[in-house]
């Protein structure tokens, strides 16, 4: 059992802290936000993540985890301090390292015994050399302190599961002492450990995330071509995925990747390459494709509808993926402003993310348009002229083609997540556009009737 302190209680820090406690270590999580600390002591998680609160409460009760703003006490006699603070993207694509620097200085001024500082935050290659130097520069007591790199690969929504069942643990160290200590800390997890030097560990994180982003952008690129030549991206992905060298995961074409990692990490690696006089063409391509992909459906719908002005637009899903309340780089953030600018009357549904979205786009009049948040999908669809699907929430998937047909004024659906089979939408005469697949055939007679009906009603 080791005494571990964790700096930062966001996704990375809190999940790591809770999982260390779960495998038997004694953990103190440090955050600057007192209210957040108080809530965590009561077992309330600051992030929406399954299993997390349960493990927080269980380990807090067992005295294996505590939360504090008092970093000095937490760091003073820790065997290892894990840093999991944010490294937000700056306008030029580089990572903002000021939070890491603050923590590094606090560590240097607090520790009274030999200590391994482990950086879990994603940082540009070479940063941890600097962090180590920085700590040495400010060190108050005569103790041994080294910095190790230990990137994490958890995905939001399954963070605890991903941490406890990781496919690999990457540890990047520069001495046997650091390597042995970190290996022992991870021993109870009983997971494969890949031990490399510090810079390689830092690079593994970026290279992995950017590869996955590239995989998605590649499929989106191929999807767009599929539409033009009459192929079906889902069949293509299935056929590709059987090849173990390609692998069947992360081949889902859609409305582009979002979240806190892929967009940030692709830009950061591209920036790092540029800084080193190198052009990282593949990653640049992934970024470019993703940018266009996000508004692909909006552009299609614009051509089909002439205007959105005064139309009731159902928006299903606001978060960047299901099972999270995170909106970062979500497709909704690109599309909703465009729809509002056009004067759309939006009815938005998201089981978890609506509250966060409403902070950015409050309910009511918004620019030229209007936005209403609804707690059930049927209300959004009732009498709607068009529907956009941005997130594949289970609740959205549960909506059958008949429901679109029966509720919408004109059953016209733009699906950014390929939730439905084209054939089932066709059977219900829903006009359906998705990604990398043929649209349903439009029944011209029926459309004309719909239009007549619409005119008669208004
Ligand atoms: C990702 C990585 O999976 C994780 O290893 C890393 O540590 C952080 O970044 P996360 O951002 O939480 O995790 O979500 P993920 O499930 O990977 O999805 C990212 C985005 O890619 C989402 O917008 C998702 O919709 C999209 N995606 C994913 C696709 O469009 N197609 C796919 O096949 C997979």
The DSSP-derived string for 223-235 is: HHHHHHHT--HHH
Look at residue 173 and give its three-state secondary structure. Answer: coil
pLDDT digits (tens, 9 = 90+) for 91-130: 887 889 999 999 999 999 999 999 999 999 999 999 999 9
Nearest CA to ligand 1 atom 33: 250
CA dihedral of residues 102, 103, 108, 113 (deg, nearest 10): 170
Residue 261 is a catalytic residue = yes
49 or 458, greater pLDDT: 49
Distance 160 CA to ligand 1 centre (A): 16
Contact 184, 256 (CB under 8 A): no
- What is the ipTM for the molecules in this complex? 0.98
What pTM did the predictor assign? 0.91
Contact 253, 220 (CB under 8 A): yes
Does 30 have pLDDT greater than 80?
A: yes
Q: What is the mean pLDDT of residues 64-82?
A: 98
CA distance 65 to 102: 23
Residues in the chain: 458
**Residue 401, both tokens:** 């083609």
**Residue 455, both tokens:** 């005119």
Beta bridge partners of 30: 7, 68
Contact 330, 320 (CB under 8 A): yes
456 or 379, greater pLDDT: 379
> 364-366 and 369-374: which strand pairing?
antiparallel
Distance 190 CA to ligand 1 centre (A): 25
Burial 181-192 (b: 16+ CB within 10 A, else e): bbeebbeebeee
Give Cα separations from 190 to 170, 185, 210 (angstroms): 13, 11, 27
Contact 160, 55 (CB under 8 A): yes
Q: What is the DSSP letter of 441?
A: P
| pLDDT given for residue 91 in this prediction | 87
pLDDT digits (tens, 9 = 90+) for 134-187: 999 999 999 999 999 999 999 888 999 999 999 999 999 999 999 999 999 999
Q: Which of 223, 252, 321, 322 maximizes ligand 1 atoms within 8 Å of its Cβ, making it the mutation to test the pocket?
A: 321
Q: Which domains does the chain have, with CATH numbers?
A: 3-196 (3.40.50.720), 205-293 (1.10.1040.10), 295-457 (3.40.50.720)
Q: What is the mean pLDDT of residues 293-319?
A: 96
Distance 113 CA to ligand 1 centre (A): 39
Contact 202, 151 (CB under 8 A): yes
Q: Which of 151, 206, 212, 220 maximizes ligand 1 atoms within 8 Å of its Cβ, making it the mutation to test the pocket?
A: 212
Question: Angle CA(181)–CA(139)–CA(19) in degrees, nearest 5?
Answer: 35
The side-by-side arrangement of strands in the sheet containing 364-366 is 364-366, 369-374, 345-349, 312-316, 386-389, 412-415, 431-433
Cβ < 6 A, ligand 1 pocket: 153-156, 209, 216, 250-252, 254, 257-259, 261-262, 320-321
pLDDT digits (tens, 9 = 90+) for 386-435: 999 999 999 999 999 999 999 999 999 999 999 999 999 999 999 999 99
**Residue 11, both tokens:** 């996704």
């Amino acid at each position: 059992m080791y005494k571990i302190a964790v700096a930062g209680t966001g996704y990375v820090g809190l999940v790591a802290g809770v999982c260390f406690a779960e495998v038997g270590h004694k953990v103190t999580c440090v955050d600057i936000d007192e209210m957040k600390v108080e809530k965590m002591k009561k077992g309330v998680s600051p992030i929406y993540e399954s299993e997390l609160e349960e493990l927080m409460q269980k380990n807090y009760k067992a005295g294996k985890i505590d939360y504090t703003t008092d970093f000095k006490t937490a760091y003073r006699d820790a065997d290892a301090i894990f840093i999991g603070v944010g490294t937000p993207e700056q306008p030029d694509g580089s990572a903002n390292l000021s939070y890491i620097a603050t923590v590094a200085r606090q560590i240097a001024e607090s520790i009274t015994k030999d200590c391994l500082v482990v950086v879990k935050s994603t940082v540009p290659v070479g940063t941890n050399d600097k962090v180590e130097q920085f700590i040495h520069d400010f060190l108050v007591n005569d103790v041994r302190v080294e910095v190790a790199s230990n990137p994490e690969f958890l995905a939001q929504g399954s963070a605890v599961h991903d941490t406890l069942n990781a496919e690999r643990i990457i540890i990047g160290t520069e001495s046997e002492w650091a390597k042995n200590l970190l290996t022992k800390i991870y021993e109870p997890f009983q997971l494969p450990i890949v031990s490399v030097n510090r810079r390689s560990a830092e690079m593994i994180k970026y290279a992995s995330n950017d590869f996955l982003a590239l995989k998605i952008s590649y499929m989106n690129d191929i999807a767009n071509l599929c539409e033009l030549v009459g192929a079906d991206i889902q069949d293509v992905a299935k056929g590709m995925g059987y090849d173990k060298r390609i692998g069947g995961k992360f081949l889902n074409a859609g409305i582009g990747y979002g979240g806190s990692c892929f967009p940030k990490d692709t830009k950061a690696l591209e920036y790092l390459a540029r800084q080193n006089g190198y052009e990282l063409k593949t990653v640049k391509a992934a970024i470019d494709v993703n940018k266009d992909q996000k508004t692909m459906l909006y552009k299609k719908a614009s051509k089909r509808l002439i205007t959105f002005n005064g139309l009731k637009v159902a928006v299903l899903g606001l978060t960047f993926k299901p099972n999270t309340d995170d909106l970062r780089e979500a497709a909704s953030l690109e599309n909703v402003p465009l729809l509002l600018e056009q004067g759309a009357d939006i009815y938005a549904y998201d089981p978890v993310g609506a509250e966060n979205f409403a902070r950015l786009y409050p309910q009511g009049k918004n620019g030229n348009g209007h936005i209403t948040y609804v707690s059930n999908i049927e209300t959004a669809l009732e009498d709607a002229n068009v529907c956009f699907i941005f997130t594949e929430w289970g609740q959205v998937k549960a909506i059958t083609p008949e429901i679109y047909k029966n509720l919408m004024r004109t059953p016209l659906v733009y699906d950014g997540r390929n939730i439905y089979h084209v054939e089932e939408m066709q059977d219900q005469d829903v006009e359906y556009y998705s990604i990398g697949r043929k649209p349903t055939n439009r029944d011209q007679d029926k459309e004309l009737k719909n239009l007549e009906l619409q005119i008669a009603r208004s």
